[in-house]
Amino acid sequence: ATLDRTPAFDRECSTCAFFSVFAVYMSSRASTCVVRTFLSARGGGAAAASSSVVRRLSASTTRVRAIGAADDAVTMTTDVVGVDGATVAYDFGAHKLTNVVSPTPSDIDVASAAEALPIKLVAEKMCGLGEDDYELYGKYKAKVSEKLSTTLAGRKSTTDVGYYVVTAGITPTPLGEGKSTTTIGLVQALQAHTNQRAVACIRQPSMGPTFGIKGGAAGGGYSQVIPMEEMNLHLTGDIHAIGVANNLLAAAVDARCFHEATQSDDALWKRLMPAKKDGTREFSAIMFKRLKKLGITKTNPDDLTEEERSKFVRLDIDEDRITWRRVVDMNDRFLREITVGEAATEKGRTRKTGFDITVASEIMAVLAMTTSLADMEDRLGKMVVGPSKSGEPVTCDDLGCTGALMALMRDAIKPTLMQTLEATPVLVHAGPFANIASGNSSIIADQIGLSMVGKGGFVVTEAGFGADIGLEKFVNSGGK
Average the pLDDT over 400-409 and give the result: 97
Give the per-residue pLDDT at 187: 95
Written as one string, the DSSP assignment of 252-296 is HHHHHHHHHHHS-HHHHHHHHS---TTS-----TTHHHHHHHHT-
Give the per-residue pLDDT at 50: 33
pLDDT at 15 over 60: no
Query: What is residue 35's three-state secondary structure?
Result: strand
CB-CB contact of 430 with 445 (8 Å): yes
pLDDT at 171 over 80: no
pLDDT at 58 over 60: no
pLDDT at 8 over 60: no
Task: Give the highest mean pLDDT range of 19-33, 135-149, 429-443.
Answer: 135-149
Residue 295 and residue 17: Cα distance in Å, rounded? 57
Q: Which of 422, 415, 407, 424 is nearest to 458 (CA)?
A: 424
Lowest mean pLDDT of 15-19, 77-81, 119-123, 193-197, name the range: 15-19
Rg value, the chain, Cα: 26
Residue 52 and residue 12: Cα distance in Å, rounded? 8
H or E element, residue 108:
helix 107-113
Give the per-residue pLDDT at 99: 84
Give the per-residue pLDDT at 366: 96
C-alpha angle 69-72-76 in degrees, rounded to nearest 5: 130
Average the pLDDT over 239-266 and give the result: 97
Average the pLDDT over 79-104 and give the result: 72
Mean of per-residue pLDDT scores for the chain: 81
Q: How many CB atoms lie within 10 A of CB 338?
A: 14
Instruction: Give pTM, 2 decimals.
Output: 0.81
pLDDT at 466 over 70: yes
Task: Give the highest mean pLDDT range of 6-15, 34-43, 51-60, 337-346.
Answer: 337-346
Work out the percent of the chain whose per-residue pLDDT is above 70: 79
Q: Name 23's bridge partners.
A: 36
H or E element, residue 79:
strand 78-81
Give the per-residue pLDDT at 90: 67
| CB contact burial 414-440 (16+ within 10 A = b; e otherwise) | bbbbbbbbbbbbbbbbbbbbeebbbbb
Give the per-residue pLDDT at 152: 75
CB-CB contact of 416 with 141 (8 Å): yes
Lowest mean pLDDT of 16-20, 261-265, 441-445, name the range: 16-20
Residue 211 and residue 450: Cα distance in Å, rounded? 33
Query: What is residue 89's three-state secondary structure?
Result: strand
- Number of Cα atoms under 13 Å in the Cβ half of residue 267: 7
pLDDT at 66 over 50: no
Residue 420 and residue 55: Cα distance in Å, rounded? 17
Lowest mean pLDDT of 97-111, 313-327, 342-356, name the range: 97-111
User: Which DSSP letter does residue 70 get?
Assistant: T
Find the distance separating the first CA and the last CA of the chain, reported in whole Å: 34
Residue 398 and residue 404: Cα distance in Å, rounded? 13
pLDDT at 116 over 50: yes
